[in-house]
Amino acid sequence: MADREQEQRSEAGDVVAGVVALRQAGARSIQAREVSIRQGGAGKVEAQEIDITQGGIGLARAHEVEVTAGGIVVALAEEAELEASKAVAVLARGEAELEQSAAGVVAAGSAKIADSAVGVVVARQVEGQNVRVLFGLREALAFGAVAGAVFWALGRWRGR
């Protein structure tokens, strides 16, 4: 990976550089040490640090992901922070922080969630303030057990 800085203001295909800054631009994929996206987007990003403001990414793999007023489909990170943003899934080994955000699934070592809505939270430690959670760990396990029993019963009934 070259240790150069690349700033892009239009559409790009695959970008490989040390530092990448997208301003009102898009890229299919990015591989870099640091990635900054402002009012743009990318399909797939792999980096040490990813910072998104008013933009979006399909798949983000990084040590640290920060999203402000943007969206992300899947974030795979050591640490993830969303502020006034949305995500389908946030998977963090360390800490996941959500403030005024929405996420379908948050799985992390620890989760700090404030003024946000989350579908499913799975974490060893959860700190929350004004959080709306559809399924916690107990609810998810209960739902899975009931769904499994229903599908088992339907399978036996169809077999007859």
Q: Give per-residue pLDDT as tens, 7-22.
A: 444 566 788 889 999 9
How many independent structural domains does the chain possess?
1
Domain that holds residue 43: 5-159
**Max intra-chain CA distance, the chain:** 66
Q: Please tell me the pTM assigned to this model.
A: 0.77
Most confidently modeled of 1-5, 9-13, 89-93, 127-131? 89-93
Q: Give per-residue pLDDT as tens, 67-99.
A: 999 999 999 999 999 999 999 999 999 999 999
User: Is residue 105 over pLDDT 50?
Assistant: yes
**pLDDT value of residue 141:** 81
Q: Taking Cα atoms as reference points, which of 36, 22, 30 lies closest to residue 2?
A: 30
Question: Measured at the alpha carbon of residue 140, what is the angle toward residues 65 and 67, in degrees to the nearest 5?
Answer: 15
